[in-house]
């Protein structure tokens, strides 16, 4: 602990939601990431939510250009990035304007007063200076002349003003680190690593960070500081991880466990590009990442690689998945293993590239010509992206079929605490490779249980064969236009995917297995759903949660679970896709639905409200 | 990749064309130029010193793209226009394979144009055989990107309005390093050129002027016809002057910035005045001009027009994997997971 000369009282808190907001050039994402690191070192559990505009640098000082980073950290288990902020750092009037509605009524707000000049607040859409009228009544406002103090902190270093002001985000970070009684050494160590080649920048950042910290200590506005004790996490080694990195690493793990070479064919697209970037880094694991000329070439190169015996992947977001549709059909027809990752974003068309949504579910399930069933799996947390990528690979390879893995922008860019697994504890992946000179080999002869065909890899003696997009004759794999054969093959392809239900876990229920309300959700909303449902359970409500990760096929016990509840409410970030899928697959139930399509995550409070209104309907 | 599946190259059994004949019925129209190309390919494969299990034939959609079914190798009959992308994945994933891509003027110049130019640009070692019949055959007679301007087809009853691609010009413009042209009426020429294209390290494109007997019959007749071919074909040979004609008395010269035809012995022209073919020069100028020569003003250039050595994509990737393995602190994925900022509870 720092020497705290002012000796402000320290208040213990269970959990805190902190939000950094500024211009998209102000470095808010980095500031947030650095605070996350400090939370990690303090042993807190946490979850983060970066919220940034689609433009790289939208006009300075406008609401459109505001970039935010929210972190929810705590002594208790943290499953969401939090609803409303307890502490807001607003680097300019626009960021105050954009985020005030996501801030608790009595929150602490740190503002850079240097930016609250007439030009600034008018540009943000305020008629008067919000620091001087009643806009911030009720808030604990810490007014800091961040820009001035930053320049002052580095004046001895003789830096250009523009360069000096680049580190003003570190002044804000310094204040926040003081507020939460955090040490500066980890952040200083980061500067030393990051700016290794530029010692003067290291020094500037250190001085500004310290100046911010000292400012916090010295001013009257801060009458108390806060402490958040370490969380009671299981024993183990931990790290901070985002969903996209976890996805990439899950694939590397799958490649090693299966003994297959990893091949990724991909084309950059927000918010999926980091998976491609990450996999280009690790060539030492024999992984080959190919940046193709477009989305179609991304998946087609992966299909070619799959035929040669690689663990083949392609990564994209919604618009890219549309472009890949025809090729997914080819992978279905050729029965080759392939994992297609769709990091969902707001749609349709270009939609909301940097915002999260769950609206590609129907596309994943049905968006192809002909009868083209694929396995669909949805990752449920940033950490789970690792396991979902691993499992999608296992299912694709062992069942010889394409698998669509759905994640989303919030999981992809959000980070959380990841308990590092050992590869030896992960399940085996056994590719069904055909043996050289196997006289009984036929390209479309199948395993009796899983119905997968064998994988006959070029280079293997005695197994030369051709596959393609034309309908295949059962067993021989020759081209066939026979009517009855087409019906048989269509049914086999469907049955092969449905039998995957025998190889995935049964649906798990959080709460009692019967009650007044079953809340159903899927994919990336797990954290917020869990938090809301657990809160209601603690209040004694007969409410349970079934959160789905396996979408096609659904777990075998799905209907069994649904039977035992008076009401079923399906919550999702789209206009009702999973609920309609359930209506089709399990029509015997009445499903209510709660949908949010704003490019934003659910808030715990809105879910609670919805649950209560349904439970009240029931009693009245 | 299973190493033991690749046997000692010294002990490759002698292969014949029979090793590559598939048991599938060939369903091209009688008289189609594709039959001759298939026969040539069956002769080419045994000459390359490659195990029969290490050949891979990839295609897209179109008449020509049925090819993989008729070759007894590993193969994928892909989707329309995407053969180049599929073949790229095959070759990058397993550089040991001899990868052949069979495509047509619609498959690679229209719907697959993007993949086609990018595979050429990357110089992935794939042997592309481009069947150019200047028409859409499988969909029954619509114009293609190589159909001459003004042609009347099913979808251009008043004649086409669009300027056609010249494949050679497109390939060289896309940074192509190997481009050759042959005719489907000359099996010996096809075989020799295809063997050379296979030996070339990097993307090679062999354009075969192929006749669609149903929808565009005799489109290449001036170039391939018995009576006219000698005066309309310029057979290029490296290091040799560009001579053609029934009486071997015509030639090509460079005048200013343009090619011109001359008659040897007229106006004092001798063999020494003719251009000498150099396929290996990196400068694309003459190669593009040769590619663009058309009847009746010029003979059509046949043979290896361009063959410039260069690094291949997959070799550079293999090398970077080798370097990464030497430099990396990670021996396995566990090492990666435990790297960087971690903490223990």
As a whole number, the mean pLDDT across chain A is 95
Domain positions in chain B: 3-219+311-337
Whether residues B92 and A263 touch (CB distance < 8 A) is answered with yes
Confidence of residue A619 (pLDDT cuts 50, 70, 90): low
Which residues in B lie closer than 8 A to residue A303 (C-beta atoms)?
Answer: 76, 78, 86, 89
Whether residues B333 and A256 touch (CB distance < 8 A) is answered with yes
Q: Is A250 within 8 Å of chain B by CB? A: no
Residue B9, classified by CB atoms within 10 Å of its CB into exposed (0-12), middle (13-18) or buried (19+), is: exposed
Whether residues A297 and B114 touch (CB distance < 8 A) is answered with yes
Residue A184 in this model has a pLDDT that exceeds 70: yes
Question: What is the least distance, in Å, from the CA of B319 to any CA of chain A?
Answer: 10
Do A296 and A327 form a contact (C-beta atoms < 8 A)?
A: yes
Q: Which CATH architecture has domain A239-425?
A: 3-Layer(aba) Sandwich (3.40)
At the topology level of CATH, where does A10-227 sit?
Pyruvate-ferredoxin Oxidoreductase; domain 3 (3.40.920)
Chain A, window 296-335: residues with a beta carbon less than 8 angstroms from a chain B beta carbon = 296-297, 300-310, 312, 326-327, 329-330, 334
Which residues in B lie closer than 8 A to residue A421 (C-beta atoms)?
Answer: 337
Strand partners for A515: A565
Helix (H, G, I), strand (E, B) or coil at B65: helix
Question: Which residue has 């750092």 as its token pair?
Answer: A89
Angle value at C-alpha B250, between B247 and B252, nearest 5 degrees: 155
What is the rounded CA–CA span in Å between residue B177 and residue B175? 6
By CA distance, what is A328's nearest residue in B? B79
The pLDDT of residue B117: 98
By CA distance, what is A426's nearest residue in B? B334
Whether residues A458 and B76 touch (CB distance < 8 A) is answered with no
Do A579 and A546 form a contact (C-beta atoms < 8 A)?
A: no
The pLDDT of residue A400: 98
At the topology level of CATH, where does B3-219+311-337 sit?
Rossmann fold (3.40.50)
Residue B135, classified by CB atoms within 10 Å of its CB into exposed (0-12), middle (13-18) or buried (19+), is: buried
The pLDDT of residue A3: 46
Nearest CB neighbour to B85, from listed A233, A301, A310:
A301
The pLDDT of residue A7: 60
At the topology level of CATH, where does A515-619 sit?
Rossmann fold (3.40.50)
Nearest CB neighbour to B89, from listed A265, A293, A457:
A265
Residue A12, classified by CB atoms within 10 Å of its CB into exposed (0-12), middle (13-18) or buried (19+), is: exposed
What is the rounded CA–CA span in Å between residue B126 and residue B115? 13
ipTM score for this prediction: 0.95
Angle value at C-alpha B43, between B135 and B10, nearest 5 degrees: 135
The pLDDT of residue A620: 59
Nearest CB neighbour to A464, from listed B74, B90, B324:
B74
Mutation for B interface: A293, A313, A433, most B CBs within 10 A:
A293
Do A326 and A282 form a contact (C-beta atoms < 8 A)?
A: no
In 3D space, the residue among A257, A265, A268, A309 whose CA is nearest the CA of residue B317 turns out to be: A265
The pTM score is 0.94
Which regions of chain A carry the CATH code 3.40.50.920?
515-619
Cα torsion A513, A514, A517, A520 to 10°: value is 30
Nearest CB neighbour to B88, from listed A301, A457, A466:
A301
Percentage with pLDDT > 70 across chain A: 98
Helix (H, G, I), strand (E, B) or coil at A87: strand
By CA distance, what is B83's nearest residue in A? A300
Annotate A245-261 with DSSP letters as a single string.
HHHHHHHHHHHHHHTPP
Question: What is the least distance, in Å, from the CA of A443 to any CA of chain B?
Answer: 11
Q: How many CB atoms lie within 10 A of CB A511?
A: 19
pLDDT in tens, A32-57: 999 998 998 889 999 999 887 777 77
Whether residues A310 and B332 touch (CB distance < 8 A) is answered with no
Mutation for B interface: A266, A295, A308, most B CBs within 10 A:
A308
Residue A4 in this model has a pLDDT that exceeds 80: no
Question: Which residue has 């470095």 as its token pair?
Answer: A27
The backbone region for A137, taken as left when phi is positive above 0, alpha when psi lies in -120 to 50, beta otherwise, is beta
Residue A141 in this model has a pLDDT that exceeds 50: yes
Residue A443 tokens read as 């390209």
Whether residues A457 and B2 touch (CB distance < 8 A) is answered with yes
The pLDDT of residue A222: 82
By CA distance, what is A265's nearest residue in B? B89
By CA distance, what is B327's nearest residue in A? A284
By CA distance, what is B345's nearest residue in A? A235
The pLDDT of residue B12: 61
The pLDDT of residue B20: 95
Question: What is the least distance, in Å, from the CA of A552 to any CA of chain B?
Answer: 26
Radius of gyration of chain B from Cα atoms? 23
Q: Splitting chain B (345 residues) into consecutive groups of 10 residues, what average pLDDT does each group show?
A: 46 83 91 94 95 97 93 97 98 98 96 98 98 93 96 96 97 98 96 97 97 91 93 97 96 97 96 98 98 97 98 98 96 96 87
Average pLDDT rounded to a whole number, residues A273-299: 97
Angle value at C-alpha B12, between B7 and B18, nearest 5 degrees: 120
Whether residues A297 and B74 touch (CB distance < 8 A) is answered with no
Which residues in B lie closer than 8 A to residue A290 (C-beta atoms)?
Answer: 88-89, 92
Q: How many CB atoms lie within 10 A of CB B284?
A: 18
Q: Is B63 within 8 Å of chain A by CB? A: no
Who's near A142: CB < 8 A, 6+ residues apart? A108, A109, A110, A111, A175, A219, A221, A222
Nearest CB neighbour to A461, from listed B53, B86, B324:
B53
Mutation for A interface: B337, B338, B342, B344, most A CBs within 10 A:
B337
Mutation for A interface: B27, B58, B74, most A CBs within 10 A:
B74
What is the rounded CA–CA span in Å between residue B83 and residue B107? 8
Average pLDDT rounded to a whole number, residues A251-280: 98
Question: What is the least distance, in Å, from the CA of B251 to any CA of chain A?
Answer: 41
Question: For residue A467, what is the enclosing H or E element?
Answer: strand A466-468
Do A18 and A87 form a contact (C-beta atoms < 8 A)?
A: yes
pLDDT in tens, A524-583: 999 999 999 999 999 999 999 999 999 999 999 999 999 999 999 999 999 999 999 999
By CA distance, what is B335's nearest residue in A? A422
Strand partners for B244: B250
By CA distance, what is B6's nearest residue in A? A459
Whether residues A41 and B6 touch (CB distance < 8 A) is answered with no
B208-236 residues labelled b (16+ CB within 10 A) or e (exposed)? bbbbbbbbbeebbbbbbeeeebbbbbbbb
Q: Is A481 within 8 Å of chain B by CB? A: no
In 3D space, the residue among A137, A79, A129 whose CA is nearest the CA of residue A107 turns out to be: A137
β-strand pairing of B126-132 with B204-209: parallel
Question: What is the least distance, in Å, from the CA of B64 to any CA of chain A?
Answer: 14
Question: What is the least distance, in Å, from the CA of A387 to any CA of chain B?
Answer: 13
Residue B171 tokens read as 């390939």
The pLDDT of residue B1: 38
Average pLDDT rounded to a whole number, residues A94-100: 94
Whether residues B88 and A292 touch (CB distance < 8 A) is answered with yes
């Amino acid at each position: 602990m720092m020497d705290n000369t002012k000796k402000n009282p320290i208040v213990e808190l269970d959990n805190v939601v902190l939000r950094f907001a500024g211009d998209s050039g102000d470095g808010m994402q980095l500031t947030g990431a650095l605070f996350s690191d400090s939370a990690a070192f303090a042993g807190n559990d946490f979850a983060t939510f970066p919220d940034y505009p689609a433009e790289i640098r939208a006009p300075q000082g406008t609401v459109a250009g505001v970039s935010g980073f929210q972190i929810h950290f705590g002594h208790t288990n943290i499953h969401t990035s939090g609803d409303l902020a307890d502490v807001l750092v607003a680097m300019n009037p626009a960021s105050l304007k954009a985020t005030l509605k996501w801030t608790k009524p009595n929150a602490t707000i740190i503002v850079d007063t240097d930016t609250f000049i007439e030009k600034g607040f008018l540009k943000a859409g305020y008629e008067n200076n919000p620091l001087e009228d009643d806009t911030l009544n009720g808030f604990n406002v810490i007014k800091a002349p961040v820009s001035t103090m930053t320049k002052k902190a580095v004046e001895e270093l003789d830096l250009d003003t523009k360069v000096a002001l680049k580190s003003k985000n570190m002044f804000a970070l310094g204040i926040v680190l003081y507020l939460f009684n955090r040490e500066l050494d980890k952040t200083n160590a980061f500067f030393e690593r990051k700016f290794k080649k530029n010692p003067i920048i290291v020094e500037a950042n250190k001085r500004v960070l310290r100046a911010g910290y000292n400012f916090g200590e010295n001013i009257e506005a801060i009458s108390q500081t806060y402490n958040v004790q370490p969380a009671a996490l299981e024993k183990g080694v931990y790290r901070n991880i985002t969903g996209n990195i976890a996805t990439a690493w899950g694939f590397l793990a799958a490649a090693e466990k299966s003994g297959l070479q990893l091949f990724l064919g991909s084309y950059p697209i927000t918010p999926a590009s980091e998976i491609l970037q990450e996999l280009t880094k690790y060539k030492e694991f024999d992984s080959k990442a190919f940046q193709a000329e477009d989305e179609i070439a991304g998946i087609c190169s992966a299909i070619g690689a799959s035929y040669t015996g690689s663990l083949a992947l392609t990564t994209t977001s919604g618009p890219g998945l549309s472009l890949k549709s025809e090729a997914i059909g080819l992978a279905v027809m050729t029965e080759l293993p392939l994992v297609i990752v769709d990091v969902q974003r707001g749609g349709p068309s270009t939609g909301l590239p940097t915002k999260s949504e769950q609206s590609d579910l129907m596309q994943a399930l049905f968006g192809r010509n002909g009868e083209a069933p694929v396995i669909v799996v949805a990752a449920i947390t940033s950490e789970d992206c690792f396991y979902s990528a691993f499992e999608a690979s296992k299912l694709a390879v062992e069942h010889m079929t394409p698998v669509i893995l759905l994640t989303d922008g919030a999981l992809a860019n959000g980070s959380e605490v990841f308990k590092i697994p050992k590869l030896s504890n992960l399940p085996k992946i056994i590719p069904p490779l055909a043996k050289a000179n196997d006289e009984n080999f036929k390209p479309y002869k199948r395993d009796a249980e899983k119905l997968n065909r064998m994988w006959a890899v070029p280079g293997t003696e005695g197994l030369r064969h051709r596959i393609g997009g034309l309908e295949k004759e059962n067993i021989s794999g020759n081209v066939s236009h026979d009517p009855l054969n087409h019906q048989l093959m269509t049914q086999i392809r469907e049955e092969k995917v449905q039998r995957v239900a025998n190889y995935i876990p049964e649906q798990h229920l959080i709460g009692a297995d019967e009650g007044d309300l079953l809340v159903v959700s899927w994919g990336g909303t797990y954290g917020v759903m869990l938090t809301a449902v657990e809160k209601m359970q603690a209040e004694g409500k007969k409410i349970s949660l079934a959160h789905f990760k396996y979408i096609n096929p659904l777990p075998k016990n799905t209907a069994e679970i649904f039977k035992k509840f008076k009401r079923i409410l399906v919550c999702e970030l789209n206009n009702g896709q999973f609920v309609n899928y359930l209506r089709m697959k399990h029509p015997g139930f009445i499903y209510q639905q709660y949908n949010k399509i704003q490019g934003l995550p659910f808030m715990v409070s809105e879910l609670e409200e919805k649950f209560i209104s349904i439970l009240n309907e029931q009693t009245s | 990749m299973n190493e033991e599946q690749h046997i000692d190259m010294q002990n490759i059994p002698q292969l014949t064309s029979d090793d590559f004949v598939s048991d599938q019925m060939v369903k091209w129209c009688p008289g189609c130029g594709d039959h001759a190309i298939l026969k040539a390919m069956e002769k080419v494969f045994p000459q390359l010193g490659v195990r029969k299990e290490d050949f891979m034939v990839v295609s897209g959609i179109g008449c020509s793209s049925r090819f993989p079914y008729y070759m007894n190798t590993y193969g994928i009959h892909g989707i329309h226009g995407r053969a180049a992308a599929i073949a790229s994945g095959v070759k990058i994933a397993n550089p040991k394979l001899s990868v052949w891509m069979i495509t047509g003027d619609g498959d690679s110049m229209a719907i697959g144009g993007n993949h086609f130019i990018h595979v050429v640009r990357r110089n992935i070692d794939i042997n592309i055989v481009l069947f150019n019949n200047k028409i859409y055959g499988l969909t029954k007679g619509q114009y293609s990107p190589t159909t001459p301007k003004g042609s009347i087809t099913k979808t251009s009853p008043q004649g086409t309005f669009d300027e056609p691609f010249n494949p050679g010009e497109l390939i060289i413009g896309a940074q192509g390093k190997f481009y050759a042209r042959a005719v489907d009426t000359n099996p010996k020429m096809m075989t020799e050129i295809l063997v050379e294209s296979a030996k070339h390290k990097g993307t090679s494109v062999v354009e075969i002027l192929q006749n669609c007997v149903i929808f565009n019959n005799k489109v290449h007749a001036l170039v391939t016809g018995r009576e006219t071919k000698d005066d309309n074909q310029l057979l290029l040979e490296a290091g040799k002057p560009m001579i053609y004609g029934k009486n071997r008395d015509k030639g090509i010269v460079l005048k200013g910035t343009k090619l011109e035809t001359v008659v040897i012995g007229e106006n004092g022209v001798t063999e020494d005045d003719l251009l000498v073919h150099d396929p290996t020069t990196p400068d694309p100028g003459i190669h593009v001009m040769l590619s663009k020569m058309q009847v009746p003003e010029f003979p059509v250039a046949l043979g290896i027009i361009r063959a410039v050595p260069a690094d291949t994509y997959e070799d550079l990737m293999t090398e970077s994997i080798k370097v990464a393995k030497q430099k990396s602190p990670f021996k396995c994925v566990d090492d990666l997971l435990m790297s960087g900022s971690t903490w223990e509870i």
